[in-house]
A and B are shown apart, each in its own frame.
Chain A
């Protein structure tokens, strides 16, 4: 079955540290990938998405992600985190042949210490 997996379940960083959150997907073919973020007390919102073209995707708030087809990966990065980046991060992909269903990873909780 298709799956999206996130390697890190809980990450703790100090402000100004660099961030990389792993995401792997299990299938080939046409791939679209998303990173969503859920700040404390807020709803899920889109950080960035890969649809096609340049595999390095830039999103909001200084986040970026790189699609590496050979590694089935779509890791999220930020050079210097801030306390306000404390949130839960989800990687997601549409199910193959099923445009309506998003498959989510189990999420990574990021805690940034001031």
Chain B
């Protein structure tokens, strides 16, 4: 049973560029959430996708956008990169998110460095 996978594992970009990160959820899961984890901090919620729509959003600017595909995989796009966007980006998948307390399963993350 494949867990959550993310690609690429590492990425280096320069300020102003755009980046796309990818995530495949755990088999059988239909919901994908994205988090940003800065060094020494806990993950911060960016947004969540369910049924190909953004359902919830955290306190992130519109430069952060996403997409979910019919096979439940997801992309995170960040435009006009800033130095402060350097972080580990985590994808988490879950099932039936209407149930409070549903466990989210995390992928290994994509480490983004913006120079």
Residues of A within 8 A of B (CB): 4, 30, 32, 34, 36, 42-46, 49, 51, 90, 92, 94-95, 98-107
Q: Are the C-beta atoms of A106 and B103 separated by less than 8 Å? A: no
Q: Are the C-beta atoms of A99 and B90 separated by less than 8 Å? A: no
Given A43-B107, A101-B45, A102-B35, 8 further pairs, Cβ under 8 A: A32-B101, A49-B101, A90-B43, A99-B97, A99-B98, A99-B99, A100-B33, A100-B50
Least CB separation from A94: chain B residue: B100
Chain A interface, >50% SS class: strand
Q: Are the C-beta atoms of A106 and B41 separated by less than 8 Å? A: yes
Q: Are the C-beta atoms of A30 and B100 separated by less than 8 Å? A: yes
Least CB separation from B57: chain A residue: A101
Q: Are the C-beta atoms of A44 and B106 separated by less than 8 Å? A: yes
* CB-defined contacts of A101 to chain B, threshold 8 Å: 33, 45, 48, 56, 58
A23 to chain B, nearest CB (A): 11
| Interface size range of chain B in the complex | 20 to 34
Give Cα A4 to B3, complex, Å: 27
Given A99-B102, A102-B104, A106-B42, A43:B48 Cβ within 8 A: no
B68 to chain A, nearest CB (A): 13
Total number of residue pairs linking A and B with CB closer than 8 Å? 68
Residue interface mask B28-60, A partner, CB < 8 A = 1 = 000101010000111111001010000110100
A60 to chain B, nearest CB (A): 13
- What are some 20 contacts across the A-B interface (CB < 8 A)? A4-B42, A32-B100, A36-B106, A43-B106, A44-B106, A46-B103, A49-B103, A90-B42, A95-B45, A100-B31, A100-B48, A101-B33, A101-B45, A101-B48, A102-B33, A102-B35, A102-B45, A102-B92, A103-B45, A107-B41
* CB-defined contacts of A34 to chain B, threshold 8 Å: 103
Residue interface mask B84-109, A partner, CB < 8 A = 1 = 00000010100001111111111111
Least CB separation from A42: chain B residue: B108
**Residue in B42, B55, B103, B108 whose beta carbon sits within 8 Å of that of A100 in the complex:** B55
Give Cα A102 to B94, complex, Å: 12
